Amino acid sequence: TMAELKELARSEKVVAIGETGLDFHYDFSPRQDQRRVFEAQLQIARELNRPAIIHSREAFDETIDILEQFIRLKGRLKGVVFHCFSGSARQARIVLDHGFYISFAGVVTFRN
């Protein structure tokens, strides 16, 4: 449950919340459920003053929309890192313009 996750995240050994976010590549869980859990985990990150590590696959616009709305309604997060970023240059600019960070993995070397 989210309450259990929050309790575990209180540990000083936990330095961030995530990876959390939206993955629309596979249809393993309903999108509305993904959105609800993502927002709940952002709330935990905010309450515990932890950065959020974001996973966003084929869901960039929705991910940014949720983050913008969350920040507008509840305030900034300690930090936001888009994990394993493989988006476009335009998307990277949007992420950076929000003051978020990007991490890259080997997937950026793939041809497709």
Q: Rounded to the nearest 10 degrees, what angle do helices 31-48 and 60-74 cross at?
A: 40
Range of the domain at 21: 2-7+15-105
Q: Kindly state whether residue 110 falls inside one of the protein's structural domains.
A: no
- Along the 112 residues of the chain, how does pLDDT read in single tens digits? 999 999 999 999 999 999 999 999 988 899 999 999 999 999 999 999 999 999 999 999 999 999 999 999 999 999 999 999 989 999 999 999 999 999 998 877 777 6
Whether 31 maps to a domain, the answer reads yes
Residue 84 domain flag: yes
* pTM recorded for the entire structure: 0.91
Count up the domains in the chain and report the number.
Answer: 1
Residue 64 domain-assigned? yes
Residue at 48 is within a domain: yes
Within a domain: 61: yes
Is 111 a domain residue? no
Q: Residue 83: which CATH number?
A: 3.20.20.140
Of 96, 5, 93, 97, the closest CA to residue 50 belongs to 5
Contact yes or no for 103/79 (Cβ under 8 A): no
Q: Does a structural domain hold residue 32?
A: yes
